[in-house]
Amino acid sequence: MKKRRIIYYKDELNDEFADTQKKETKIGKDFKYIRKSLVWRFFAFIAYRVIMTPIAFIHCKVKFSLKVIGKEKLKPFRKKGVFIYGNHTLQAGDAFIPNVVTFPKKTYVVVKSANLSTRGTKTFITMNGAIPIPTEISAMRNFLGALEKRSVEGSAIMIYPEAHIWPYYTGIRPFKSVSFAYPVKFGDPAFCTTVTYRKRKRRETPKIVVYLDGPFYADKTLPTKEATEKLRNEIYEQMLKRAKSSDYEYIEYRKEETGGRHT
């Protein structure tokens, strides 16, 4: 049996364990979040529906034997914008799984600007629905405008509030409430996906079972800040419950007390 990999961490909020570390790229007021060109929209359709969707389904099925539980909860919201929050435990998988979970609804994914830093892939990634977080305050208005547009047109918007990738981590890390202000602001229902890992008989890599839960609604009787925090807490608690169904720790995470390294 293959020896289990161990990763030592210090900070649950800020440690990053992605296989590749990318440099942040500038996202300022000149970044085009919305493209109106018919040519762009045509090729974006090809990129998402003809290329990415089949790849997502094949990758998730072949590599992880992916199973989604609760997908029917999205059916009443086919023409309604929704926000979905998930645990961030895979690199390619976290780009593919939303496509599978929300199909046939298109999903846009809020990403760090570093995801657009690789030369030659920026256009393809944005065509597939990446919405980069601004690195400059001047871009915030356009960023929020893009979220609102996707909400109004009935798309799904995927957010990973943990912000940093911890491969195959079976718990739920603490995360901030800032991104939960969007469904509060736009009046949209929120959902959460919890990726859980199961042992397989003939393969070391685990099987994935994704739970979709919701809808969760902002409490309109509360001020915006309190409603945002309450929504965050409700989703966090639900994800904690679902995460307990993981029965296989492919990578072990240990808190680093003094010194140490991840291996």
Which helix (H) or strand (E) element contains residue 230? helix 224-243
CA distance 215 to 77: 10
Residue type (1 letter), 214? G
Whether residue 3 is predicted with pLDDT greater than 90 in this model: the reply is no
Residue 82, SS3 per DSSP = strand
CA distance 241 to 91: 23
Pick the residue with more confidence: 117 or 132?
132
| Domains identified in the chain and CATH numbers | 5-255 (3.40.1130)
pLDDT of the residue at 245: 96
CA distance 47 to 107: 13
Cβ atoms 136, 27 nearer than 8 A = yes
Whether residue 259 is predicted with pLDDT greater than 60 in this model: the reply is no
Whether residue 129 is predicted with pLDDT greater than 60 in this model: the reply is yes
Sign (positive/negative) of CA torsion 112, 116, 168, 54? positive
What's the average model confidence in pLDDT over 184-212?
Answer: 95
Sign (positive/negative) of CA torsion 172, 242, 147, 184? negative
Mean pLDDT of the chain: 92
Q: What is the pTM of this model?
A: 0.93
What's the average model confidence in pLDDT over 99-124?
Answer: 89
Whether residue 122 is predicted with pLDDT greater than 90 in this model: the reply is no
Q: Which of 24-33, 155-164, 184-193, 209-218 has the lowest mean pLDDT?
A: 24-33
